[in-house]
Chain A
Amino acid sequence: MSKRVVVVGGGISGMQTALSLKSLGFEPLILEQSRQLGGKVADWHLLFPSFTPAEEVTVPLIRAVRQNGILVRLGCKVVSIESRRVILCSGERIDCDAVVLCSGSTLFDATIKEEYGYGIYDNVYTSADIEKMMNNECVATASGAAPERIAILHCVGSRDEKVCQRHCSKVCCITGVKQAIELKKLFPKAEIFNFYMDIRMFGPGYEELYRQAQIDYNIHFVRGRISEASPLMDGRVQIKAEDTLTGRPLRMSVDMLVLMIGMRANDDNAFLSSSSGAELAPNGFFKSRNSFVDNVLSTKDGIFLAGTVSSPKTIGQSLNEATTVAHRVAEYLNYGN
């Protein structure tokens, strides 16, 4: 009988992990806490840097999971991981030979940064809201008008000691550039300003897209973090920042303020870590055994990591880890350690 591997999470990492495990002759079981597969990518519209529809990633993966007869259980919340056993919130125990954590991460809750007014006044949105609006083809201000000026603020809930999120969320810089271009395509007359602390264009084609945003789409980039946003009488939003490259304070009113929210560690990581013995990094993400040859191994034997459960990652990096982790599980189960 083939060995059973529990994959916690049915996002893109979980699905790819299960598919790779299946092709290596194991019996993967996906436990997904929501009612559908696809994870966060399922809510996204187009993907950087190629503007590929997100469903071109999720749909083939979901189809492959079905066609390969991979066991999937939806609406299953994992409350405890012991060695070779997973316990669900229903109390059910599932015995297995190894566990791969693909439970991803949580989007930063922008209401915590009260100074930006998200959830308090109109016309303040998050990057995730913009993706949903793009999917529903209803991008507009709260009054339904086309925006004439849009500000995009990078690093909301990333690199911020005040909200206990010291780490860089990695993908928001390029998402800010991507959404700026998408918004400019939708509203060619709109002025778009990206406010940033640093622009980190680490991936292939990212720097090129950044340059394209500047030269071909005339997107303005202001180095400086918005310190506060306040509502105006007409429902627009006034923002204040320092234009640090000129050393002068700067203010403007905008029709839309878009916050690039970061990825933070799941709250569940705390009890999944304490039950399993797999350690967490100081930022709350699961700690890899090391960053190089064992990056998909947790600090506990038999418990593996893939995707954003261990740190913010792009889709491509998450899928690569998913493929890698299957091979490391195979080594572990076939040869022991």
Chain B
Amino acid sequence: MATNFGFSISKPRVIDVDTNNLKKSNEILAALPELQSCIGCGSCTASCTAGNLTSYNFRKVHTLVRRGEYAGAYEEMNKCMLCGKCRLLCPRGINTRRVVMLIKKCLGDF
């Protein structure tokens, strides 16, 4: 019988690219190769309507998805209201709304 010692072991925070399954990530990048050109400037997150009210960070979520970290990505993307301000600002011209929709479509059952 398990004894409660009053502490638990934290899950490792490391992104392990060897064990992560990059299949979904590759599907998203194949559908929208321009997503790979993100330079992490943060314009999208700075302008984000949802991000000003919640902890939603679009840049971070899609970067994690590209590394194969899918947990919670779908739920996060649901916070997006598709206002499109980020798309107006993106210096790389990435169709950011398409990124939101692609992640929701590919990772909906995750």
Known: A215-B33, A245-B59, A246-B60. 19 other contacts (CB 8 A): A199-B39, A211-B37, A214-B33, A214-B36, A214-B37, A215-B34, A215-B37, A218-B36, A243-B67, A245-B40, A246-B15, A246-B63, A246-B67, A248-B64, A250-B16, A250-B17, A250-B67, A251-B16, A252-B16
Which of B18, B29, B64 lies in contact with A246, CB distance below 8 A? B64
Q: Nearest-CB distance from B56 to chain A (Å)? A: 14
**Closest chain B CB from A209 CB (angstroms):** 12
Q: Say whether chain B's binding surface is mostly helix, strand, loop, or mixed.
A: mixed
Contact indicator A251/B37 (Cβ below 8 Å): no
29 A-B pairs within 8 Å (CB atoms) are namely A191-B22, A211-B92, A214-B33, A215-B34, A216-B33, A218-B33, A218-B36, A219-B36, A220-B36, A221-B36, A243-B63, A243-B67, A245-B40, A245-B59, A245-B60, A245-B63, A246-B64, A246-B69, A247-B60, A248-B14, A248-B15, A249-B14, A250-B14, A250-B16, A250-B17, A251-B17, A251-B18, A252-B16, A253-B18
B23 within 8 A of A: no
Q: What residues of chain A lie closer than 8 Å to B17, measured between beta carbons?
A: 250-252
* B29 nearest in chain A by CB position: A218
Whether A249 lies near B13 (C-beta < 8 A) is yes
B66 in contact with A220 (CB, 8 Å): yes
The 8 A CB mask of B86-107 against A (1 = contact, 0 = none) is 0000001000000000000000
Complex alpha-carbon distance, A246 and B17, angstroms: 14
What residues on B are CB-neighbors of A215 within 8 Å?
33-34, 36-37
Residues of A within 8 A of B (CB-CB), count: 21
CA distance A214 to B37 in the complex (A): 5
Interface residues of B (CB under 8 A from A): 13-18, 22, 29, 33-34, 36-37, 39-40, 59-60, 63-64, 66-67, 69, 92
Does the CB pair A251–B15 fall under 8 Å? yes
Which chain A positions have C-beta within 8 A of B64?
Answer: 246, 248
CA distance A252 to B34 in the complex (A): 24
The distance from the CB of A199 to the nearest CB of chain B, in whole angstroms, is: 8
**A-B CB proximity, top 5 nearest:** A252-B17, A250-B15, A214-B37, A214-B36, A245-B40
Does A184 lie at the interface of the complex (its beta carbon under 8 Å from any beta carbon of B)? no
Asked if A223 is an interface residue, CB under 8 A from chain B, the answer is yes
Q: How far is the CA of A211 from the CA of B39 in the complex (A)?
A: 10
A277 to B64 CA separation, bound complex (whole angstroms): 55
Residues from chain B with a CB closer than 8 A to the CB of A251 are: 14-18
**A252 B18 Cβ-Cβ under 8 A:** yes
User: Which single residue of chain A is at the shortest CB-CB distance from B57?
Assistant: A246
CB-CB nearest in chain B for A245: B40
Interface string of A242-284 (1 = CB under 8 A from B): 0101111111110000000000000000000000000000000
Chain B residue with the shortest CB-CB distance to A240: B14
